[in-house]
Amino acid sequence: MWTAEAWHDFAAGWAGGSLGILCGHPLDTIKVRQQALLVSPLRCLTATLRHEGARGLFKGLAFPLVSAGAVNSVFFGVYYNCLRHLSGGGGAGGGAEAPLRHVAAAGALGGLAQLAVAVPVDLVKIQLQTRTGVGGGWVRHYQTPAAGPLACLAALYRAGGAAAWYRGLGVQLLRDVPASAAYFVLYEAGVRWARSHQVPSAAAVLVAGGAAGVLSWSLILPLDVVKSRIQADSPERPQFRGVVHCARETVIRDGPAALFRGFTTMAARGFVVNAATFFGYEYFMVGIKLVA
């Protein structure tokens, strides 16, 4: 039976996810363009500001800002409720600390569950972020045939039906499930270490959340590059046939280093977004407990 506490996790996940997206979207835009267009972060930033202004860094924000709440609501809600179930009520605010093996299993289940919402959200975000809107060298091999999220979803549907909304599902599953397990294990381990060393709670949450984001994303960066390129591909004239084909073509054309493109930007974004996400989650839960 669903309790009020169970629903609180979903609500706090919504709040934390929205805060994280708001803080990290400009860096996410640079990361995605780096990976899809194969340019340096500095060139990405300067070309975006020159041709599109500061608002170019916020392309595609509206859709993930609204939908990231839903993605993280599922992610955190499933994670914490699974953790309570696996630990028999311990952990996740239930008293005794949960074993890290339970944290890993619950994290993997949370990562799996959020794919239903996260794949279409990421696909639309990347389609909009990589639409540069200008000619010459600063443009992809095609132009996204839609200017906004709803128009983009409609264009994708016309190109391939509802299945087109889940392009990149396979690579995102390979990326998100193990990364989610690592993410929560690293966060819990960091918070527990900080607690044992009397680190102030807010600082512990920010540093452990940021570090968990950077380290877990570092483990799967090549998959993230492949995912960005597949989801940035043209719906009508795709150049990649799948995960293996995309990875092979990327290495052949651009060298093995291309699979690690965007690391610096990813690390900066990962720290900011995940520090903000966990901070938003934890302190939203504190607020709920104060008014409950």
Kindly write down the DSSP assignment for every residue of 8-50, as one continuous string. HHHHHHHHHHHHHHHHHHHHHHHHHHHHHHT--HHHHHHHHHH
* Dist. CA 57–CA 245, nearest whole Å: 30
CB 230 within 8 A of CB 248: no
CB 103 within 8 A of CB 183: no
Treating both helix axes as pointing N-terminal to C-terminal, what angle do 221-232 and 169-196 enclose, rounded to 10 degrees?
140
Going along the chain from its start, the domains and CATH numbers come out as 4-291 (1.50.40.10)
- What local confidence, expressed as pLDDT, does residue 147 receive? 65
Amino acid making up residue 178: P
* Dist. CA 243–CA 172, nearest whole Å: 10
- What local confidence, expressed as pLDDT, does residue 92 receive? 55
- What local confidence, expressed as pLDDT, does residue 91 receive? 55
Q: pTM of the prediction?
A: 0.82
Per-residue pLDDT 10s for the chain (292 aa) are 457 677 888 989 989 988 998 888 888 888 777 767 667 778 888 888 888 888 888 876 777 788 888 899 999 999 999 999 998 765 555 456 899 999 999 999 999 999 999 999 899 888 887 765 544 444 444 445 556 788 888 888 988 899 999 999 999 999 999 999 999 999 999 999 998 888 888 999 999 999 999 999 888 989 988 998 999 888 777 888 889 999 999 999 889 988 888 788 888 888 999 999 999 999 999 888 777 6
CB-based contacts of 171, cutoff 8 Å, min separation 6:
223, 226, 227, 230, 243, 246
Tokens of 91: 């952990």
User: Rounded to 5 degrees, what are φ and ψ at 261?
Assistant: -65, 140
The Cβ of residue 97 has, within 10 Å, a number of other Cβ atoms equal to 16
* Dist. CA 237–CA 38, nearest whole Å: 19
- What local confidence, expressed as pLDDT, does residue 281 receive? 93
Tokens of 4: 């009020």
* Dist. CA 196–CA 184, nearest whole Å: 18
* Dist. CA 8–CA 94, nearest whole Å: 14
Write 234-240 long-range contacts (CB < 8 A, 24+).
234/141, 234/142, 235/145, 235/155, 235/156, 235/159, 235/160, 235/164, 235/167, 236/142, 236/145, 236/159, 237/142, 239/141
- What local confidence, expressed as pLDDT, does residue 96 receive? 66
- What local confidence, expressed as pLDDT, does residue 137 receive? 45
Amino acid making up residue 84: R
CB 118 within 8 A of CB 110: no
* Dist. CA 57–CA 76, nearest whole Å: 27
Sign of the four-CA dihedral 62, 130, 127, 279: negative
- What local confidence, expressed as pLDDT, does residue 130 receive? 75
Report the Cα–Cα distance between both ends of the chain, in Å, rounded.
Answer: 19
* Dist. CA 53–CA 179, nearest whole Å: 34
